[in-house]
Structure 1
């Protein structure tokens, strides 16, 4: 098993699971800047959906010894995917899913909206809210907003979908992260890192790092763990609200319970997946204990289930990891953008959006034009480059899509 290409940098090589000529030059420059950091362990891995990101490249997997760069995690800490296989089949669905979409949008706030009433389910997560008091002091005034946004979708590329697999089983799937509180914590710590003296000589100050054994690192790791936990619970809360909305139309709906953690968790894990793709993990690679940041990448240990979504309405893949060591046991997080939102709005029309999402119950107004499938890379090509990273377990075809 080997990557498609190997690039040189001043310090460590970059192993790519795509062809460099298909990646914008600015993203390649970002990868070289990351690989030149003195804390890099062995190499940097670039996934098939790699593209330019803010601060650090989306689709990058970075292992560091005794250091971590908050920009290499991203500002949506803990962003990721969740999917549940239900007991429904395609024959249970009505021909017109418009009312179902409206019910989901009414149950789960999208865009900049939030819950105006804090539910008992949210209030009872005492461990999460008790730990909030131990976050960085600059976040102290955000508790109310964080509680109101638990169980909300957000905007941009976040989505909720109702999908069918090859056997016509109905799946619930969604993509979201830690909302405003995650971004706020990331911005706080990126700002702190940039001001530390050991980062003054870095080739790119956006890649400023925290060092092990320092109070700044300890505070960041504490806040990072909390935000990752919040993001996972946000997806779990939305799935519960999603199921509640569906039961108005399908009273017999049943969904699986959460599976055991880790790979090899059996069929329950296959039917219930919840995975981060912007996060930090403590792992062991190439003879060393390291901090691995995945920004736009999922963990793909041998036997571990994950989700690689396509763009709006183009289909997604449930996959099982192959444990590729050169990729730090990782895989891509989705199709990845091939053009900016501004360029997408200038390139495509609403008629294009309607044509490219035909057969999917979804918004087709100018507000989501920048999420048109044509603005993203071909998901089948991304999966093709991932052949030594994951094996495909199921392809999911969207029949309903909710966007922020």
Structure 2
């Protein structure tokens, strides 16, 4: 690091332009630093790139980065899980009202929300709806017009499921959890994004941006940093499509939360309950039009949450660690942002090679969850310690609630 102030460290790219990192006390691998230096070198970055404590190397761009731009956007800086984020709500249940065995609770959630992926995503995929519920088709009706506009100009995006994925979890690090807070209140929390349609939108425009770089004879240190300049053919189309995908993702989370709540109420596993607080629903892979340091700009958060003063957010740990409901402090140097989670310390493949089922079972003791080889890559030790991540961003957010999961459903 080049220098450090009380709250963050400052590194720089090859030309000495700053990158501010909230990484004190957490791992920060060299590959991520290289990605960030390449990103900071783009000519349309506004002021600096901010880096959250969950930072790690990502596909296309660095996870945990906050990228303000003027006059251009980088599709890979958002990635392909557009609008991925969190939703959480507190119930009137108390911890002592939960049954001794939570297997039935987990089964009720798994039966209510399609999750995972089978049949290579084909017609028999258990992670998609065969017949979408009426609530989901009604929600899709509010999204359909925008989708038709996107597909009319970019028909490749229409080649795959959209309604069938609305209200479904997906795979990887997406999850649904039942959690207990610091005062024994019970919460429902989940993590998901824009599913297959968001992936198609992201992939399509990343490729178009790369083609534009070739057409304009622009050479970049990393092809994944291909960008769409404002005023060019694909810029407005992408901004519209990414905004639509973010709306889809938020709706996806709302529908899953509703399905899970209704399933738990009908399960017979729990006493009658209601929801006691408004749900927190926040993106952490997205683009937003904002105003910072005297300029209107696009802020791309890839693995980061907006944390303006008073903004409520969610920072989950791994499937065996604490999670946090937080309130933003509006830190201007971080472009009003905070981390989106703990952040990986190793790749999925590395985790599969390093950890055993015994390791995973021990790390998730006390949590009703999958304990099989297909979730080894999500084992807690594959992630940074959430306590260190929270300590590194104490000037970005304050903790409102501390949650510990007791049930975890993975895709």
Name the TM-score, length of structure 1 as normaliser.
Answer: 0.94
Aligned residues, how many?
389
Please say if 1:138 is aligned against 2:160: no
- The aligned residue for residue 275 of structure 2 is 255
Deviation at 1:253, TM superposition (A): 2.0
* Distance in 2 (alpha carbons) for counterparts of 1:2 and 1:43: 18
Unaligned runs of 5+ residues in structure 1 are 257-267
Q: Label 1:253 to 1:54 Cα distance change in 2 as closer, same or farther (>3 A).
A: same
Greater shift, 208-217 or 180-189, is seen at 208-217
Which among 375, 378, 388 is matched to residue 371 of structure 1? 378
Please say if 1:147 is aligned against 2:171: no
CA contact (8 A) 1:10 1:35 kept: no
Alpha-carbon displacement from aligned partner over 1:129-184 (angstroms, at most 9, x marks no partner) = 12210113211233xx1101111111111110000111111000000000111011
Which among 273, 283, 287 is matched to residue 280 of structure 1? 287
Which among 55, 59, 66 is matched to residue 61 of structure 1? 66
- The aligned residue for residue 343 of structure 1 is 350
Deviation at 1:272, TM superposition (A): 1.4
Q: Secondary structure at the match of 2:115?
A: coil
Please say if 1:76 is aligned against 2:111: no
CA contact (8 A) 2:27 2:345 kept: no
* Distance in 2 (alpha carbons) for counterparts of 1:10 and 1:325: 24
* Distance in 1 (alpha carbons) for counterparts of 2:265 and 2:138: 23
* Distance in 2 (alpha carbons) for counterparts of 1:210 and 1:253: 49
CA contact (8 A) 2:25 2:392 kept: no
- The aligned residue for residue 114 of structure 1 is 128
CA contact (8 A) 1:199 1:208 kept: no
- The aligned residue for residue 396 of structure 2 is 389
Please say if 1:91 is aligned against 2:96: yes
- The aligned residue for residue 261 of structure 1 is none
Deviation at 1:222, TM superposition (A): 1.0
Q: Secondary structure at the match of 1:131?
A: helix
Alpha-carbon displacement from aligned partner over 1:314-335 (angstroms, at most 9, x marks no partner) = 1200000000000000000000
Which among 184, 187, 191 is matched to residue 171 of structure 1? 187
- The aligned residue for residue 189 of structure 1 is 205
Superposition RMSD on alpha carbons, in Å?
Answer: 1.4
- The aligned residue for residue 45 of structure 1 is 50
Which among 331, 336, 339 is matched to residue 338 of structure 2? 331
- The aligned residue for residue 202 of structure 1 is 220
Unaligned runs of 5+ residues in structure 2 are 118-126
Deviation at 1:389, TM superposition (A): 0.3
- The aligned residue for residue 4 of structure 1 is 8
- The aligned residue for residue 124 of structure 2 is none
* Distance in 1 (alpha carbons) for counterparts of 2:6 and 2:291: 20
CA contact (8 A) 1:350 1:366 kept: yes
CA contact (8 A) 2:26 2:392 kept: no
Alpha-carbon displacement from aligned partner over 1:226-262 (angstroms, at most 9, x marks no partner) = 1000000000000011001110233622125xxxxxx
Name the TM-score, length of structure 2 as normaliser.
Answer: 0.92
Deviation at 1:214, TM superposition (A): 2.1
Query: 1:211-230, aligned counterparts within 5 Å?
Result: 211-230=229-248
Greater shift, 115-124 or 290-299, is seen at 115-124
